[in-house]
A = this chain, B = another copy of it.
Amino acid sequence: MLENKNQSRTSLSELGEFGLIDHLTEHFKITKETTIKGVGDDAAILKFPDEQVVVTTDLLIEGVHFDLSYMPLKHLGYKAVMVNLSDVYAMNANASQITVSIAVSNRFPLEALEDLYAGIQAACVNYKVDLVGGDTTSSQVGLVISVTAIGHCVADDIVKRSGAQVNDLLVVTGDVGAAYMGLQVLEREKEVFKVNPKNQPDLEQYSYIVERQLKPEARKDIKPLLKELGVKATAMIDVSDGLSSEILHLCKQSNVGCNLYEDKIPLDPQVISVCEEFKLDSTTIALSGGEDYELLFTIAQADFPKIKANPNFSIIGHMTEEKEGMHLITRGNTKIPLIARGWNAMSDNE
């Protein structure tokens, strides 16, 4: 399907570990004032005067988090960085550096890793972050990618998950559910390809949702946008595991409840039509799909006029007393408890 057709293959063992690191990172430039020393010593050296530092890390495992039969390696590199930057932006911080460690089996030639690092580099350029370190090793099977992202922020600007107040409005950026439906389309095409390898998939009508799955973008724009609007979020989290799971995190850590309104959840028209095609309920997909990498945050009601007409934001609910619990108010005005059905990387059957 979308696999790299490049037939050139250079064995990793020809380069050795240090040669490989040099080769893969030679085109990465240091651009941040906060990076004193990047790749090439025992540790990177950073300097953040008068600011707080944020650190986040994610581990991506082949066969669990990605399937190389439809995920091009360049996109995978890009996405691995996005997953982490999204967590930095969810603190309302500025992302500045990343480290990337990979473990690969011998089935990967050098050219495959070059594709992976081309995606990592594109992410570094687009999001203005420096690659400052990492580790490159072998695995017995499969590809493992571990990314750590470092950001910084003046202390007063940081937004935690724990600051939501009763009566605050619940806001989400962009739209949700698309990445999950993109995955469903890709999985279906993979099955078709298995039966008939000559069949070329036509993904054009699914272009938005497939791109949301294969090349997500982290919401770097939201911090400056909120600042411009004069809005300070009271609590924030990124939507990686599905809207319901993230709402439950915010409520739990802020000791509040929540009413979420089904008719306010932002869905792209393509998500609605593909959900119909797959006979899936679009609200369930929005609540449980995951991998949207949008930001979910709360604001004081007084800030409502500042964001109400902004196309980047949807007000999808409000926070309540903790004892009232967390509920979805359906289109039919039925109140049903909100439960986390987000994608669970630890469950036996996934």
Indicate if the CB atoms of B43 and A93 lie closer than 8 Å. yes
Rounded to whole Å, the gap between the CB of A141 and the closest CB of chain B is 6
How many copies are assembled?
Answer: 2
Contacts of A87 in B (CB 8 A): 42-43
Indicate if the CB atoms of A88 and B42 lie closer than 8 Å. yes
Indicate if the CB atoms of A160 and B37 lie closer than 8 Å. yes
Contacts of A155 in B (CB 8 A): 36, 47
Binds B, one of A8-16, A119-127, A202-210, A259-267: A8-16
Rounded to whole Å, the gap between the CB of A49 and the closest CB of chain B is 7
Contacts of A135 in B (CB 8 A): 57-59
Selected from B40, B64, B134, the residue in CB contact (under 8 A) with A137 is B64
Q: Mark A309-334, 1 if CB is under 8 A from B, else 0.
A: 00000000000000000000000000
Indicate if the CB atoms of B42 and A161 lie closer than 8 Å. yes
| Residue A213 interfacial (CB < 8 Å) | no
Contacts of A50 in B (CB 8 A): 49
Indicate if the CB atoms of A158 and B45 lie closer than 8 Å. yes
Instruction: Give the total of A residues in contact with B, Cβ under 8 Å.
Output: 77
Indicate if the CB atoms of A61 and B347 lie closer than 8 Å. no
Interface centre among A62, A65, A106, A146 (most CB of B within 10 A): A146
Listed in ascending order, the chain A residues whose CB lies under 8 Å from chain B are 11-13, 15-17, 20, 36-37, 40-50, 52-59, 61-65, 86-88, 90-91, 93, 97, 99, 101-103, 106, 132-142, 144, 146, 148-151, 155, 158, 160-162, 236-238, 253, 344-348, 350
**Contacts beyond the supplied A43-B54, A59-B137, A137-B346: 10 A-B pairs with Cβ under 8 Å:** A13-B348, A15-B346, A16-B347, A17-B345, A42-B91, A43-B56, A49-B50, A53-B53, A55-B132, A138-B347
